[in-house]
Structure 1
């Protein structure tokens, strides 16, 4: 889209005019790959990686054939991006559990409302957003005067991930199976293991009033604990196992197919917890991996509201990234519930229709559910977490130091990690690419030669303040340059990963059947073996953002960096919890030290 072209005000009005994600040349990607993995390798590992890369990219070699197939795909009719097939394979192809491993959460800002009132306010806000989205009245996001893709907004309501034996699928509106916006009028409310259908839109599609929504929730909260174990526990299983149990449920009794349909078609879930979190960390942990009998982790959007009105959201990641959820949450929380309810056209129509969603179980399925519940509780217990909060420090304190706020905190993570674990390890940062058609994110690798030099000098007792300062600024500038490369689609990892997946899908047909040494090389394996996995969610409406770690030694670092504060949620396997707590302490020190260095 040229700057001179007028931006459509309709939600999805700019999609066809957005530029396509650029497909890098194979040579550019190979050069960048060596540049990215190089700082993490020994000389011998680098030589082995260069040799494997040369074999992959030689004239007439396997890389050329795979890249040519990708170029043909990118040019094919109906393809929006060369990543169109990559994303489903990346997200829907994973076979482990998505609960805690893939879903992410936001902890919302505090509210004075009680539990039912807070939940009703979130429902009212979501309904207002849905109706505006249906009418394409949600303004398109714009960055530096250019529109961003809004495609992901189609997956906010009535979207559910469906487990499969080899790969999952997604049930969603705006598809051939379900054209246009969702016509569902109900949500699913979880309370004490009960699943309840609650109609939040009347027969004419107009929302119930806030008072009626509150009354409906209060009615639900009078329920005793569910007599049967909750089928929600099954959504925590590894995907193929859950697919098998889902088939068993449907085969056992036709009422189970109806119950599953009620859950999958629902606009979203509201999970009411009958306790008050002990503290902020406890609230975050329950948002990430709370009682799985009170969740359906396959649902795109689940609001979680605790006994004291503390609230947040758990999000299934396959079609939704953080930036889309941030915009949604900001719309819900920027205005008072009374205002959004009125704006949505809510009318009084009596107590909402409330009906239990019940599954018919046999002993085998009861055992499976109880086993899944126990296994997930143990998995949650085997995850260590921590919060780090800087109440007197934020991006407004970094900008006068003439440095990118994100680069500052990323360098602080690198310094804290070296001091906590004694090494510099592969670090992932998610970079949004929504300026492109169907754009999502690019994988950025943070460790550069400049980062290594900066950390080395910070640890060298003989280095002077000026040398350290120069190294810090050089590392931050290298970080900003690389982030810009990622934003412009010039990054190697997802390109090479998609070539690897093309071989798996179509290798025989393309005549590329030999094992590809590149993907067993030290460079590929080391660059992707995360020690830190980082992502940011800046919004005044969010206190904390979080996700699980991605490997046995990884610390997940989810951060909310605002002008006046900086909050971080850390997660790692329990076996390496001590190092995470040391990292948290070193991070507090590093922020102070680096701030003083630049002052």
Structure 2
């Protein structure tokens, strides 16, 4: 890395965190509370069983629900249920285990997952445009220059921990933000963190070619934004107009296929290992695309998948287009979206408010020119690349995306009705799904559990008896708005209760996952897992998650089941934006129904409020 920066950490006083959190004097501000964070709890069997039955009921017939009730009650009362719970509690109590869930979940959901990361795992952000309309090289240089102080805070441990209601959150995943890479291996992937002091460089992708650029000169002085811009201009010139064989396309493939292809790439030439490591060890990859997206849909699509060639999907990537638009593609295996959102907000806010030290360069500055990372390809490797391209094109070609930037209202209006914006948006989704399919949608909403050591996520099961009753009332012309509003508030309250449970590690899904993982070889699988309700109600037709920021103009990810939808959303003061992805499952219709449901929900609440006000006025006259 460059010469040491001087930072004031603005560490909060001990009184600013709740009792029970102890600052570790041997750690910097970022990790000072890590060791005193509570551990993820193991819910009681009876609690999980009750919540589980409540969440499956709206999706089942009476006969199906009776069968599920019997299976759940039998499991809770069984000796096997008791033994599995005791095993899980023993794992949680092991002093050497920071989280009973973390290792299992990272393996099952990420490292052991073999489908391609692009579409199925990665997520993207579209940045709000820079109003000065910079060139591609200037935009990339300024983004990179703004990243460097954030990297310094992270790598030095000086970054302040995030907090929720004063309580610090787990920050250990920030280790994987810079100079790290996911590696394809069988049967499960691995990840590696590189020393930033020994690998102080960035890699640019242009015309499917990769170029290494040092972030400091030989004296250790950090390059200025102008110098970075000049280096990027050289990259663009060096890349020319002819596209190379896209080695990066290999990273878009099935993980087992990529494992074998990587071995073949290394075998093709001894120099290929060095080129790969330069990419893998870089601060991140910056893709200088040769497209000029204008619409939200086009920019979102390019940030999400691109053409599958000018990318290296095993790392976090900044994407900068020829018209100065930009975005970010997150490698999801080692961290969730909140740390990368914080990075992107830091960078974009600093640039928007003129807070970035763009630096200056001495007149005699001597910079090493960009270094192209050459790959020597033999016939088998070229064939592997070609086949990876074809599989990518087939997979991505089967998908479609719609973006609904709904400006009918946003969180200010929702809060005016004393409701939770997130819960409101979830109810709108349920109403839209009812309109389209005539039933509740099996819905996953992500809740972060970073209040616990190594915490990641839990499921908020958004569909409920209350949301079903409200949606049905909305579609029943005989129902009054007063009645609908009452049902709506019950549904919102129930959603907030479940969201609180999930954030506290008291949801259903991770506990049931953990209990099943405690089964030993040869032991029978309890009926709760073979009952049709189990597979039906974790088949996430609606995979939803909210990240809201004034610095993003879109974000999203792919569906998690073939007959479902990826449904990311953001809630601004005066808008709600949904990005919808699917395997061409009438996506435009769902977009239409979301807008219709959002408008009808507003109109219903306004009419109900007016009627309530009228009744109050009449009552006052008496």
TM-score interval, smaller chain? over 0.9
Task: Tell me by how many angstroms 1:552 deviates.
Answer: 2.2
Q: Match of 2:63?
A: 44
Contact 2:406 2:595 in 1 (8 A): no
Describe how 1:546-565 pairs up with structure 2 within 5 A.
546-565=556-575
Whole-angstrom CA distance in 2 between matches of 1:115 and 1:587: 39
Q: Match of 2:150?
A: 129
Task: Tell me by how many angstroms 1:95 deviates.
Answer: 1.3
**1:177-228 deviations in Å (ceiling 9; x for gaps):** x6xx664211110011111111123445542100010011111111225664
RMSD value, Cα: 2.3
Task: Tell me by how many angstroms 1:345 deviates.
Answer: 9.7
Task: Tell me by how many angstroms 1:553 deviates.
Answer: 2.2
Task: Tell me by how many angstroms 1:47 deviates.
Answer: 2.9
**1:426-468 deviations in Å (ceiling 9; x for gaps):** 0110112222222221111101111111011111111011111
**1:392-440 deviations in Å (ceiling 9; x for gaps):** 5211111111111111111111111111222212011011222222222
Give the structure with higher Rg (CA). 2
| More off after superposition, 464-473 vs 50-59 | 50-59
Describe how 1:98-117 pairs up with structure 2 within 5 A.
98-111=117-130, 112=132, 113-117=134-138
| More off after superposition, 265-274 vs 550-559 | 550-559
Whole-angstrom CA distance in 1 between matches of 2:210 and 2:332: 23
Give the alignment partner of residue 255 of structure 2, picking from 223, 239, 262: 239
Task: Tell me by how many angstroms 1:591 deviates.
Answer: 4.8
Q: Match of 1:534?
A: 544
Q: Secondary structure at the match of 1:447?
A: coil
Tell me, yes or no, if structure 1 residue 16 matches structure 2 residue 39. no
Task: Tell me by how many angstroms 1:324 deviates.
Answer: 1.1
Task: Tell me by how many angstroms 1:515 deviates.
Answer: 3.6
| TM-score for both structures, normalised by structure 1 | 0.92
Q: Match of 2:205?
A: 190
Equivalent pairs, count: 585
Give the alignment partner of residue 467 of structure 1, picking from 483, 487, 510: 483
Give the alignment partner of residue 151 of structure 1, picking from 155, 168, 172: 172
Contact 2:217 2:366 in 1 (8 A): no
Q: Secondary structure at the match of 1:425?
A: coil
Contact 1:409 1:591 in 2 (8 A): no
Task: Tell me by how many angstroms 1:68 deviates.
Answer: 2.4
Whole-angstrom CA distance in 1 between matches of 2:362 and 2:496: 50
Q: Match of 1:25?
A: 44
Q: Match of 1:308?
A: 323
Describe how 1:36-435 pairs up with structure 2 within 5 A.
36-61=55-80, 63-89=81-107, 90-111=109-130, 112=132, 113-173=134-194, 183-203=198-218, 205-222=220-237, 223-225=239-241, 228-299=244-315, 301-336=316-351, 341-342=356-357, 349-435=365-451
Q: Secondary structure at the match of 1:221?
A: helix
Task: Tell me by how many angstroms 1:146 deviates.
Answer: 1.6
| TM-score for both structures, normalised by structure 2 | 0.89
Give the alignment partner of residue 451 of structure 1, picking from 443, 467, 486: 467
Task: Tell me by how many angstroms 1:341 deviates.
Answer: 4.8
Whole-angstrom CA distance in 2 between matches of 1:319 and 1:473: 37
Runs of 4+ residues over 6 Å off in structure 1: 6-9, 343-348
Structure 2 spans left out of the alignment, 5+ residues: 1-16, 610-622
Contact 2:485 2:605 in 1 (8 A): no
Tell me, yes or no, if structure 1 residue 577 matches structure 2 residue 598. no
Contact 2:558 2:581 in 1 (8 A): yes
Q: Match of 2:13?
A: none
Task: Tell me by how many angstroms 1:32 deviates.
Answer: 1.9
